[in-house]
Amino acid sequence: MTEKKLVCVSCPMGCELTVVLEGKKVVSVSGNRCPRGEEYARSEAVEPRRVLMTLVRVEGGRDRVVSVKTDRPIPLRLFPKAMARVRELSVRAPVAIGTVIEENFLSTGANLVTTRPAR
């Protein structure tokens, strides 16, 4: 059995959580002041996921880059790979806000979408 210390980031309280794991299985969660903390700890201890936000190159427009995000959290451990992939991408101006640049990004089930228009 292993013990992991986490800080719940689901709300500003920032409870300090202790998760007991057996291999990849969560045995118990303590330190949370509400059920959301337990839910957070169960996924965080096994596979932390985050929304990735970055920039994609824009070709043929006034803007050099456009901001993008994954439309749902992806595993944090994929971030280096994700950034390497993003560097290979580019879009042609103009692009609308909410345009999908890459579907099922790195097979995560998340899409990479623009978060602003680019001219």
19 forms beta bridges with: 4, 29
Pair of tokens at residue 28:
């118990």
Task: Assess 85 for contact with another protein (CB under 8 A).
Answer: no
Shortest spacing between CB 31 and another protein, in angstroms: 13
Contacts of another protein in 36-55 (CB under 8 A)? 48, 50-55
Q: Which residues of 60-77 are buried (b: 16+ CB within 10 A; e: fewer)?
A: eeeeeebebebbeebeee
Shortest spacing between CB 79 and another protein, in angstroms: 7
Measure the CA–CA gap between 52 and 54, rounded to whole angstroms: 7
Contact 95, 82 (CB under 8 A): no
Binding site for ligand SF4 (CB under 6 A): 8, 10-11, 13-15, 32-34, 36-37, 40
- Cβ within 8 Å of residue 61, ≥6 positions away: 92, 93, 94, 118, 119
Tell me which of another protein, ligand SF4, none is bound by residue 69, counting a contact when its beta carbon lies within the kind-specific cut-off of 5 to 8 angstroms: another protein
Candidate list 2, 30, 43, 64; residue touching another protein; CB under 8 A:
64
Tell me which of another protein, ligand SF4, none is bound by residue 45, counting a contact when its beta carbon lies within the kind-specific cut-off of 5 to 8 angstroms: none
Question: Which residues contact another protein by CB under 8 A?
Answer: 7, 9, 12-14, 48, 50-55, 57, 64-65, 67, 69, 76, 79, 83, 97, 115-117
